[in-house]
Structure 1
Amino acid sequence: MRIFGLILAATLSLPLATRAQDRVPDPVQAPPVSPEGADQRAFLDLFFDESDGKFDISDYLSRGGFIPVPIIITEPAVEGGLGLVLQFISWPDGRRESLTRRMLGAARTGNGSYGYGYFQSGTVLDGRLSYRFGVGKGELTIAAYPGGGTFPLEYTTEFTYGVLGSARWALNDPRFSVGVNWDFREIRTTLALPGLPPAIRPDIDRTIRTGALGLGFHFDSRDNPLTPTEGVNVYLDTKFNTDAFGSDRAFDVYDLASFGFGRLGSDWRYGMMTSASLVTGDVPFNFVPSIENRGVPANRYQGKLVLNAEAELTRQLNDRWSVLGFAGVGYADARDSRLFADSGAIYSGGVGARYRIARKLGVDAGIDLAFGPEEPVIYFQFGHAWMRWMD
């Protein structure tokens, strides 16, 4: 379960990627942002583009602004919810190494789950060292499906604290970077059900501390850190939970992911995503990964090895608006788990629309409607839909 689960993921998982590279090219060939000119304009003018008069936050972001972003959680697994993220963003010239974000967020869902925390990302040392870190607290009520069946086993996990982050050093070729990951949590899981399955008894009604350090190997050639249109992002992240790092349980986490973007002419572009998540050792059942493609209920299909793939095709209608379609498939392999079962292939797909909310910086926002094995799901997006998982 990523970043304390769904709630903190909703409040703290907006696009946060940074990397030392060349200037991000503007997809619509707009003139470069001029912070000096922006400072001379009336405040309200910062939210409208001087070239077409449309709503646009390019100059506001370039100046360094405070943006309150409402969070609308549409995930059926937690019965929906609302939240708010207070974002303090500085991006003066559209270069990756100048993007800094500080976010304070909180959210609550229909089933009583909640979370709040702080997240920051940026670069130092002339963009050679990129960092991200977050701290938070929350409580998540969600269901697991033992044996891959249809009977939900609802449990509540209280995250007393969570501290996670990474620091990576760009190599001579700045598209490559290596660094360390860390993840420290204290959780307590409760389940109001007699006759617990033996596989989860060691994880229920007790406090578990996890502590992990690991390594990350990354490659990033994307043209834009928030709404990529060309380039590739590939990474392998590892985390090793051992008693040497303060963990009560010894288990390892491996994440391998690839994201590719390209153009099929002036008005068409594509995206491809594949990922694999593997856990080994004495892993708590609520740390087991799940299929996460759009349209698939969160936590519904879990396994010690989870594979995801999704493809996306976008049609640019004009300088502001675009529409897209996407389709994905996922598979959860239980391996040696006594609690979960192999999922088989799980298919999903849908359609979406995007508005270029920051033309000079090439950033989109919009909405997706996804269909999967259960009820349709609506997602509100800022930046690309895969930004939660991209570097």
Structure 2
Amino acid sequence: MPIPKTLMLLLGLILLSAVYAFGQVDTTAGGGEKKKLSFKDPEDGAIDLSQFLLEANGVLPVIIPITEPAVGYGGGAALLYFHKSKKKYKSYVPPSVSGIAGFVTENKTWGAGVFHRHIFGENRVRTMTAVFKPDVRIDYYGNDNPILEENPVGINLDSWVILQKAEVRLGESKFYAGASYTYFKTDVSFDTIPGQPIINEILKRLNSNSTISSIKPTFTYDSRDNAFTPFKGINAQVSLNYSAKWLGSSDDFTTLNTSFLGYLPVTSRLNSAWRFEGNYLLGEAPFYAYPFLSLRGIPALRYQSDNAMLGETEWTYNVYNRWSVLAFFGGGKAFPDFSDFGQVDWAYTVGTGFRYKVARLLGIHMGADFALGNGEEFAFYIVFGTSWLR
């Protein structure tokens, strides 16, 4: 389901992109005195946002760059409110955050909404609540249709999204259990094709309203050394997205999602990362909700079918102090049935990028990626933390 996934990506960018704010921020010390935050690390004198991320609270403006090739270049803005914790904990606990956000891209895709992310206790329970209005314009490649695969048609998804998510840590283990509920109502319309009256009449009849109402239980193992920019550990997740008419959905279908992210240091300067993902549809879903390949350099919905599997590896080398360069390669297939796997062509991506350790105390890196999908689709991405948002 591309739109809720886009919504989660946008909300993740908002929560991770507080570092884009400019100017100086004051916090109140214990005696009521104002303490000016420094954007330089006292250890090496480099630009560093650790103190800002750890101590800032209050209202914060945020700039959000968008470089997704499926919707074109664009940008957004948000106002975030950091809720000050009333309790002190032995370990760092991220603040609860409320905010409003909006974005627009060059192909007239836009969206706006509100959200609240709450942390309970010593980071043992995490919740996310969001209401969003996305109006997305994107090319549709036909879901295994040989004609549309070469001649995609534009579609417009004028939608409303309600999201509620909760996750709890199981005891003192590295296992987490959670669930989410998504309500997604959209008005689907197809663009017309010049000089094709018969096809346009067929497309006109496909215009319709569609509703997805789904619950998604999730089970996760997470041993990463850092949630933002990990260099060691594993994040493995299994989830089942269940949409049913008795929940208010237009269709009955289920999607099984599996994900594995592994981070393995090779030397003190060289680090490897590995990603494997699979999404499998059971039942008949709306055409926009079918699994698709999500790889850097490949537009969303470009490769879509009943099943989608991909693998990707990324290698990072620390060249000097806080600066690193990286290279990545990945590939995958979207296929209707496992018996057809060998007959479907591979989609692949290759690229490079760089990172700067922007917050030493939190181990957070920031930079950009440059990707080439299938040797023809170029895209670049601004990255805060990891490219594999989880």
Q: Same fold (TM over 0.5)?
A: yes
Three-state SS of the structure 2 residue aligned to 1:46 is coil
Moved more, 88-97 or 172-181: 88-97
- Alignment match, 2:362: 361
Shift of 1:42: 5.3
Shift of 1:138: 1.3
Shift of 1:318: 3.2
Residues 1:100 and 1:200: Cα distance change in structure 2 (over 3 Å): farther
Moved more, 107-116 or 48-57: 48-57
Task: Give the alignment's Cα RMSD to 1 decimal.
Answer: 3.0
Three-state SS of the structure 2 residue aligned to 1:324 is strand
Shift of 1:35: 9.4
Code of the aligned partner of 1:349: V
Whether the 8 Å CA contact 2:174–2:221 is kept in 1: the answer is yes
Gaps of 5+ in 1: 18-33
Whether the 8 Å CA contact 2:358–2:366 is kept in 1: the answer is yes
- Alignment match, 1:27: none
Task: Return the alpha-carbon distance in structure 2 between the equivalents of residues 120 and 196 of structure 1.
Answer: 44
Task: Return the alpha-carbon distance in structure 2 between the equivalents of residues 96 and 346 of structure 1.
Answer: 41
Three-state SS of the structure 2 residue aligned to 1:12 is helix
Whether the 8 Å CA contact 1:290–1:302 is kept in 2: the answer is yes
TM-score by length of 2: 0.84
Q: Say which structure, 1 or 2, has more relative contact order (CA 8 Å, 6+ apart).
A: 1
Residue 223 (structure 1) aligned with residue 225 (structure 2): yes
Identity of aligned residues (%): 28
Task: Return the alpha-carbon distance in structure 1 between the equivalents of residues 138 and 283 of structure 2.
Answer: 23
Aligned length: 363
Task: Return the alpha-carbon distance in structure 1 between the equivalents of residues 214 and 251 of structure 2.
Answer: 10
Code of the aligned partner of 2:53: L
- Alignment match, 2:140: 144
Shift of 1:322: 0.9
- Alignment match, 2:21: none
Task: Return the alpha-carbon distance in structure 2 between the equivalents of residues 135 and 239 of structure 1.
Answer: 19
Three-state SS of the structure 1 residue aligned to 2:370 is strand
Within 5 Å, give how 1:1-391 maps onto structure 2. Answer: 1-4=1-4, 6=6, 8=7, 11-14=10-13, 43=36, 45-65=37-57, 66-88=59-81, 95=91, 97-146=93-142, 147-148=145-146, 149-159=149-159, 161-193=160-192, 195=198, 204-335=206-337, 343-373=344-374, 374-387=376-389, 390=390
Shift of 1:214: 2.8
Task: Return the alpha-carbon distance in structure 2 between the equivalents of residues 229 and 348 of structure 1.
Answer: 22
Moved more, 79-88 or 276-285: 79-88
Task: Return the alpha-carbon distance in structure 1 between the equivalents of residues 185 and 282 of structure 2.
Answer: 20
Task: Return the alpha-carbon distance in structure 2 between the equivalents of residues 282 and 257 of structure 1.
Answer: 23
Shift of 1:85: 3.2
Task: Return the alpha-carbon distance in structure 2 between the equivalents of residues 97 and 277 of structure 1.
Answer: 33
TM-score by length of 1: 0.84
Residues 1:107 and 1:385: Cα distance change in structure 2 (over 3 Å): same
- Alignment match, 1:25: none
Code of the aligned partner of 1:177: Y
